[in-house]
Structure 1
């Protein structure tokens, strides 16, 4: 592994380690705060642990912290449960004078963290009311925390709690806006891709139907065996139906999207590489003669062209100092073809390897899967980046 690949891998591990350490620090702080509150003496009152009700509050705090630790998007019902349990215990605390200081600081902090998720996933089930229940639990828990100082600390403490809660609400709203922007961008890309696919469907079907017409015309003016002529027309018709089914599948795919670009084929890949080469990067292209002499289905050829175009675009955007790019389109096992684009560049900050892939690469993967292929995009052990795709090589009947 080169120093570039090793540095990129180390950077990713470091980020994951820092996030893990941050979460451990938060959880540890909550548990230490809960223990200190449970076993510390008040000014004129014994520690809370002598009261059975304090242990109920302790269990509630552990439950709320556990919800924070285990929360994942889509599990907002657990936030609702934590908020309702907290409200119920606060209500019981107001009714039951246990004679010791209430326990609730750690629970308050955990509920504040859950408020961020309540707002960020505002529309998730079971509904928006969860955020309001969460906010009520945060604000009312002050009756437990400041029960011993209602006249002096209650007002100031409540104001501080309110300000902290508004900060978490603001941060959650900001993250929600980023999520919404990403969804809207994906939707726009998906709709644009559908329009492009609709235009491609016309070209593909026209290609196959034209071949069927040519076969029928040839059968009329030659001594071709009728059974052979009908078999050829049938094969061309089946190819047309297969092409149309693939395109319809891509049009119906709600998660698709790869941007709009002109329709291309294998012959145009060399032109694409030549234009890229003129921009200053040593780029070579090899297309297997076996493929050049065979009839590759139009939608497969267009997808191969899209793979090369997207890969070269990513080289230009993300591969710093790339001096060599190799494009290979070769026959592969399983009656397929493999398209690969490899570079020797150094990863720019925020490259696809670190971000998990851009919109174009994500949509490209969807498109390749729709035609029965597989995409592989990863760092090369010897340095640089590789984008490769295996595609089924579906042959059509020559006209």
Structure 2
């Protein structure tokens, strides 16, 4: 609900800005001094009117990656100003709405500083905005003051755009750091997954030596276990981007260890309960069980950090359909207390733990959701397959 509300507010804000720009443009075309004709009598003013409309349109439909259109708007404004200087047909040109629209585009150009077609777009926009003053400040004594005001406006827009750019960069770097840490942990856990599958292969080979089992059946079982081991490794290697996986080995989390997590959480002062469906015992692949363990661990950590008003936590690991399972952690924290701390984590994508957790869940073919509950409190839930997604070997 809050995500939709935020998008609605931003949409209404843009509609308000565009409406203001259009009203300013229409007022410019019709306003004039007592001894002057309105600008709409001049064809030069209509060229500037069209340029203003184009700049407003670029602002309306701008999306990251469409910086080329900002460059076109800057060049069009420079051309319109040049026409005004060469074919001066009146004391004042049209450009106030265009000035404000280009200022908004300058904010985007600075924020997306390195995007194509290049950094020169911001400088071209700055020049276009400054030169618009030649159209507007034509009355005696207005040129210096008007140029200073435009310069101050440009400085403010550039500063705010640089701030947004630095925040974008910090967010990307932080998310990448979280993903890198997640990949290192996956690399360490690979030892446990390989050991599990190889141990199964050894047991099958030993059993084949002491029983009267058909050799072909024994070899088929060993082949199946070997393919499962290869698939498990490839699934995890696909998640890794760095060669340095660090040292050390983390214990392999499983479904039984989830109860230990909940027990420790209860001892820390919160009433927490856990239910694990008995039919899942022995029916879940090791990497899936480890992912379920990670979901519960991360969710309980978030409860401790962001839901201090919660009195009860319910952890459920249950079968879902014939080949899936659902892991859910729900608390009863009051919405007013948890909204600021956790709603932003799920909706804005800034929750650093959720970034790595979502990557882990999706790597094994699952889906993660984290959201506020209608009856109050918070829910972190993941649907996971009981067997990891098939990977060609």
Q: TM-score, normalised on structure 1?
A: 0.89
Corresponding residue number in structure 2 for 1:389: 382
CA deviations on 1:305-353 (whole Å, 9 max, x unpaired) are 0110111112222224211111111222132221111111123242433
List runs of 5+ in structure 2 lacking aligned partners.
243-248, 389-393
Corresponding residue number in structure 2 for 1:345: 333
Structure 2 residue 109 is the aligned partner of structure 1 residue 118: yes
Per mean C-alpha deviation after superposition, the further-off stretch among 319-328 and 72-81 is 319-328
- Computed over aligned residues only, the root mean square deviation of the Cα atoms, in angstroms, reads 2.1
- Taking a change above 3 Å as real, the CA distance of residues 261 and 52 of structure 1, as seen in their structure-2 partners, is farther
1:18 positional shift? 4.1
Query: Which whole-Å CA distance do the structure 2 matches of 1:71 and 1:280 have between them?
Result: 51
CA deviations on 1:169-213 (whole Å, 9 max, x unpaired) are 000000000001011111111211111111111221122112112
- Taking a change above 3 Å as real, the CA distance of residues 156 and 364 of structure 1, as seen in their structure-2 partners, is same
Corresponding residue number in structure 1 for 2:391: none
Q: Which has the higher contact order (CA 8 A, sep 6+)?
A: 1
Corresponding residue number in structure 1 for 2:245: none
Structure 2 residue 10 is the aligned partner of structure 1 residue 19: yes
- Taking a change above 3 Å as real, the CA distance of residues 13 and 376 of structure 1, as seen in their structure-2 partners, is closer
CA deviations on 1:63-88 (whole Å, 9 max, x unpaired) are 10111122121111111111010011
CA deviations on 1:226-284 (whole Å, 9 max, x unpaired) are 1221121011112112211211222259xxxxxx9864211211110111111111100
Return the match for 1:213 from 202, 212, 217: 202
Query: Which whole-Å CA distance do the structure 1 matches of 2:385 and 2:5 have between them?
Result: 39
> In the TM superposition, what are the counterparts of 1:88-127 in structure 2 within 5 Å?
88-127=79-118
Q: Secondary structure at the match of 1:283?
A: strand
Query: Which whole-Å CA distance do the structure 2 matches of 1:231 and 1:18 have between them?
Result: 61
Structure 2 residue 191 is the aligned partner of structure 1 residue 191: no
Q: Secondary structure at the match of 2:240?
A: helix
- Taking a change above 3 Å as real, the CA distance of residues 261 and 138 of structure 1, as seen in their structure-2 partners, is farther
Structure 1 contact 265–305 (Cα < 8 Å) conserved: yes
1:12 positional shift? 5.7
1:379 positional shift? 2.4
- Taking a change above 3 Å as real, the CA distance of residues 263 and 125 of structure 1, as seen in their structure-2 partners, is farther
Corresponding residue number in structure 2 for 1:132: 123
Structure 1 contact 287–328 (Cα < 8 Å) conserved: yes
Return the match for 1:65 from 18, 33, 56: 56
Structure 2 contact 189–251 (Cα < 8 Å) conserved: no
Structure 1 contact 322–343 (Cα < 8 Å) conserved: yes
Q: Secondary structure at the match of 1:116?
A: helix
Count of residues paired in the alignment:
377
Corresponding residue number in structure 2 for 1:361: 354
Per mean C-alpha deviation after superposition, the further-off stretch among 223-232 and 17-26 is 17-26
Structure 2 residue 229 is the aligned partner of structure 1 residue 240: yes
Query: Which whole-Å CA distance do the structure 2 matches of 1:383 and 1:67 have between them?
Result: 42
Q: Secondary structure at the match of 2:381?
A: strand
1:49 positional shift? 0.7
1:45 positional shift? 2.2
Corresponding residue number in structure 2 for 1:297: 285
Q: Secondary structure at the match of 1:285?
A: strand
Q: TM-score, normalised on structure 2?
A: 0.90
Structure 1 contact 80–130 (Cα < 8 Å) conserved: yes
Corresponding residue number in structure 1 for 2:164: 175
Structure 2 residue 325 is the aligned partner of structure 1 residue 332: no
Corresponding residue number in structure 2 for 1:3: none
Q: Secondary structure at the match of 2:238?
A: helix
Query: Which whole-Å CA distance do the structure 1 matches of 2:372 and 2:184 have between them?
Result: 33
Corresponding residue number in structure 2 for 1:152: 141
CA deviations on 1:276-306 (whole Å, 9 max, x unpaired) are 11111110011111222x1422211110001
Corresponding residue number in structure 1 for 2:23: 32
Return the match for 2:306 from 318, 339, 346: 318
1:56 positional shift? 1.0
Query: Which whole-Å CA distance do the structure 2 matches of 1:249 and 1:330 have between them?
Result: 28
- Taking a change above 3 Å as real, the CA distance of residues 13 and 200 of structure 1, as seen in their structure-2 partners, is closer
Q: Secondary structure at the match of 2:141?
A: coil
